[in-house]
Amino acid sequence: MPGASESKGASARSTRADAVRNRQVLLDAAAEVFVASGVDAPIREIAARAGVGTGTVYRHFPTRADLVVAVYRHQVEACAEAGPALLADSASPFAALRAWTGLFVDFLVTKHGLAHAMRADSGGFEALHAYFLDRLVPVCAQLLDAAAEAGETEPGTQAYELMRGIGNLCAGYDDDPRYDPRRLVGLLLQGLRRPG
């Protein structure tokens, strides 16, 4: 029979696992709400989407900026991890590139309000942008290189340029509900295809 200290240790691990799980659920819910309603969406909307109380949101993220930054980092990591997985699981490197750019567009649409939410912390914003580039440019380059090696695209497309172009196509999404950046990004990707 386990001793009292073993039971307390198991209980603490269970509590930590619950806290990590709650944090992940909150980040996913916040990202979905940010896409639909922007980063100024009410905290109660995020809590309801996550199935928790508003106190749980504030316990994990005391300020809106904390939540926005955490969602940003969470999505950067998800996007970075998705690249190699898509390359391994997709029918072709180009299919992996197309799927990854879809995730990237979703990320960009979510992060549009980040600058506004962090306007008082320009150093923090610059650090996040550097983090974004360090994590995602190599993933995009890997996908582009694989597509070029498979003969699906012309070699020489630079990951940073493609990502910057996609970012430019996503600008204005907030201002015009009739505008769908995914459609234009799809056309951009078609332009990368090697004829044949």
Sorted by sequence, the CB contacts under 8 Å of residue 25 that are 6+ apart come out as 50, 51, 52
22/122: higher pLDDT: 22
* Neighbour count for residue 143 (Cβ, 10 Å): 26
* CATH topology (fold) of 6-61: Arc Repressor Mutant, subunit A (1.10.10)
Q: How confident is the model at residue 188 (pLDDT cuts 50, 70, 90)?
A: very high
Give residue 98's Cα distance to chain centre.
16
User: pLDDT digits over 41-72, tens only?
Assistant: 999 999 999 999 999 999 999 998 889 889 88
Q: Label residue 117 by pLDDT band (50, 70, 90).
A: low
> Does the pLDDT at position 114 exceed 70?
no
% of the chain surpassing 70 pLDDT? 84
Fold of 62-195: Tetracycline Repressor; domain 2 (1.10.357)
Tell me the mean pLDDT in the region 18-42.
86
- The distance from CA 131 to its chain's CA centroid, rounded to whole angstroms, is 12
Helix 4-37 / helix 43-50 crossing angle, nearest 10 deg:
120
Q: Which residues pair with 153 in a beta bridge?
A: 193
| 153 three-class SS | strand
Question: Does position 29 have pLDDT exceeding 80, yes or no?
Answer: yes
Dist. CA 193–CA 154, nearest whole Å: 7
Average pLDDT value for residue range 16-36:
86
Which has more confidence, 187 or 39? 187
Mean pLDDT of 102-106: 91
Q: Where are the domains of the chain?
A: 6-61, 62-195
Q: Does residue 36 have a pLDDT over 90?
A: no
Distance CA(143)–CA(136), nearest Å, equals 11
**pLDDT value at position 8?**
56
For 193, the 3-state DSSP assignment is: strand
Q: Which residue has the tokens 């649409």?
A: 109
pLDDT computed for residue 155 by the predictor: 93
pLDDT-based confidence at residue 115 (cuts at 50, 70, 90)? low
Q: Is the pLDDT of residue 102 over 90?
A: yes
Q: Which amino acid is at 140?
A: C
**What's the average model confidence in pLDDT over 144-161?**
96
- Residue-level pLDDT at 176: 79
Average pLDDT, the chain: 86
The count of other CB atoms within 10 Å of the CB of residue 75 is 23
